[in-house]
Amino acid sequence: MKKLVQGVGINDGKYPTKVDGKMRKEYNLWTSMLKRCYSENYHKKKPTYLGCTVSDSFKDYTYFFEWCQTQIGFGKEGYQLDKDLLIKGNKLYSEDTCVFIPSVINLLILKADSSRGTMPIGVTKNGKGFVARCKMYGKYKSLGTFNTPELAFNAYKTFKEAHIKELAEKYKDTISQRAYQALLKYEVSIDD
């Protein structure tokens, strides 16, 4: 009997895990997904993944491998497996909840509780008031200084939602229709 991966993943050997000595992208994605959900050591480093699970079908490497082959964006340079875009706050990796999206989009929709402290997302306090800023293409863009955190957040929300829609249009032809529609409907919440 073969050993389970992370105690839950089944690899029946139908598809090799390596080609020419190099780990296959599918296998790397699969084992990384299982690790994020089921490794206690990983949870100590990244507690945001506590409570995440993998569907029964995705626990099967053969199924996951074949699913990847049918997904728009799979194998494209800079694209990542995402579980949060279609269902905000989702904790389940499955064929119904996952899509491949460019890392620039994935980074934009990440929840950042630990880095922002008690302020609303996109808001920092300075001597004059509350500054709204949003990261765009790896650099922060200042959106102004406001009298209240709520006003600063509203400026951030408006800007970020417009930027997400702009990226949806930019990547429309290289992401799935499900991902595209989710980006068009994406709403920034004060507690993101």
pLDDT category, 94, cuts 50, 70, 90?
very high
Query: The whole model's pTM is what?
Result: 0.90
The conformational region for residue 122 under phi > 0 = left, psi -120 to 50 = alpha, else beta, is: left
Instruction: Check pLDDT > 80 for residue 145.
Output: yes
26-36 burial, b for 16+ CB within 10 Å, e for fewer?
Answer: bbebbbebbbb
3-state secondary structure of 18: strand
pLDDT tens for residues 44-74? Answer: 999 989 999 999 999 999 999 999 999 999 9
pLDDT category, 170, cuts 50, 70, 90?
very high
167 in Cβ contact with 108 (< 8 Å)? yes
Instruction: Check pLDDT > 60 for residue 117.
Output: yes
